[in-house]
């Protein structure tokens, strides 16, 4: 993968990535809050979650609830860092989005449509954060 110099980077692509990065921060914040609420519902009343057929990687829904609560809290922290434009926020957003993809892949037996949606949004977040170079947008 080659990186482009700021002078040769495509300005339209950078503008789209910049706008998407702001959207990515908002998406991270929203997914974080929803993950916390989803985790709380799984911990508080694990009868609420419908479990489908048996899978090799099936875990207790209470354990999954705590995983989603922790991921949601980290998503919110990374979203705040991404909104401020900090380097740790950008790196953290990419890392936590990748972990969210893995967690939601494993969460597929419980909520398949929600998991697919969150995986797709996480891919957009990773693309936006890794593509955006703020030095090229004037």
Radius of gyration (C-alpha) of the chain in whole angstroms? 17
d(CA 129, CA 113): 24
Does the pLDDT value for residue 77 go beyond 90? yes
Name which of 61, 68, 59, 76 is nearest 100 in CA terms: 68
Residue 30, both tokens: 């929203």
Does the pLDDT value for residue 46 go beyond 80? no
State pLDDT tens for residues 90-121.
899 999 989 989 988 888 877 788 788 888 88
Residue 116, both tokens: 């697919």
d(CA 89, CA 29): 12
Name which of 10, 4, 66, 14 is nearest 38 in CA terms: 66
H helices of 45-111, where? 61-84, 87-106
Does the pLDDT value for residue 5 go beyond 60? no
Contact in structure between 65 and 41 (CB atoms under 8 Å): yes
d(CA 90, CA 63): 28
Residue 128, both tokens: 């936006």
Confidence of residue 13 (pLDDT cuts 50, 70, 90): low
d(CA 52, CA 95): 29
Overall pTM surpassing 0.75 (yes/no): no
Residue-range domain boundaries for the chain: 12-46+57-131
Q: Bigger pLDDT: 132 or 113?
A: 113
d(CA 33, CA 105): 19
Query: What percentage of residues in the chain have a pLDDT greater than 70?
Result: 70
């Amino acid at each position: 993968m080659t990186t482009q110099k700021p002078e040769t980077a495509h300005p339209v692509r950078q503008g789209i990535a910049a706008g998407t990065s702001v959207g990515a921060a908002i998406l991270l914040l929203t997914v974080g809050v929803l993950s916390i609420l989803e985790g709380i519902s799984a911990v508080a009343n694990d009868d609420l979650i419908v479990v489908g057929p048996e899978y090799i990687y099936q875990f207790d829904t209470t354990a999954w609830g705590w995983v989603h609560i922790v991921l949601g809290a980290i998503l919110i922290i990374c979203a705040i860092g991404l909104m401020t434009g900090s380097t740790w926020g950008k790196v953290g957003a990419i890392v936590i989005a990748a972990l969210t993809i893995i967690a939601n892949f494993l969460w597929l037996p419980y909520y398949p449509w929600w998991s697919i949606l969150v995986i797709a949004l996480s891919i957009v977040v990773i693309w936006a954060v890794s593509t955006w170079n703020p030095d090229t947008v004037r």
